[in-house]
Amino acid sequence: MEQLADGGIRVEALAAEYQAQAEHWAVRLGLPLQDASAAFAVQVGETGLQIQQLGPQAPGPVRVDFVEGAAAHRRVFGGGSGQMIAKAVGIAQGVRPRVLDATAGLGKDAFVLASLGCQMQLIERQPLVAALLEDGLARAASDAEVGPIVARMQLLAGNSIERMRDWQGEPPQVIYLDPMFPHRDKSALVKKEMRVFRPLVGDDLDAPALLEAALALASHRVVVKRPRKAPIIDGPKPSHSLEGKSSRYDIYPKKALKP
């Protein structure tokens, strides 16, 4: 894994009993267990895997939790199939499309769609983020309420563009893209995840290639999530958009989704 310009990434156990797991992740991610100059730590502890930015002004750790916190709140109070994301991917009476989330990140949007009944496949190309997602899915699988939801979420490894171009088997009906957008907001209110991930992940400068591969593969539609005022991705124009307070969904239909 490439190192950061301003310091590396190390793996550490938060207690002695997690040392073996830390060693396992260090090998899998190709990261050292000791690095005094590291800017980030992948930490293994009681609550699973997390990434912690190091330093005096660093925000708290970032981890994936589908059982409690924001994911649980949205599952219960989020608005069900009336949510804009549900309308964007084509959820309707008797319609629960098979969806590929090709920019899965921490899996928040994929979890919403899975909780509404969609069969989800997820690709996250940044290995650290994919590791958090894998860990979060594994922990959620044993929960009585959330287990059946994450059973509808299949994590695929690799580069999204390559996976879509070399797809084997039945294509997804809908492909969902939420590429990292070049960020100009300097306020302290930028979400903790963004502050931690931007140095790790960077911006998705190949968004046009992502869109092109998605349009070639999806059988029914492609949906692109963008900041509300951001330009559309270079390439074909969407047929229409659904706009919310801070974001919008650009929709590229290929054929109608039917019950």
Neighbours of 82 (CB within 10 A): 9
- Block residue for tokens 């924001």: 70
Binding-site residues from annotation for S-adenosyl-L-methionine? 124-125, 178
State how far the alpha carbon of 220 is from the alpha carbons of 91, 99, 104, 163, 173, in Å. 12, 10, 20, 18, 5
Burial of 57 (0-12, 13-18, 19+ CB in 10 A): exposed
Considering only CA atoms, give the Rg of the chain. Answer: 19
Beta-bridge partners for 45: 48
Binding-site residues from annotation? 124-125, 178
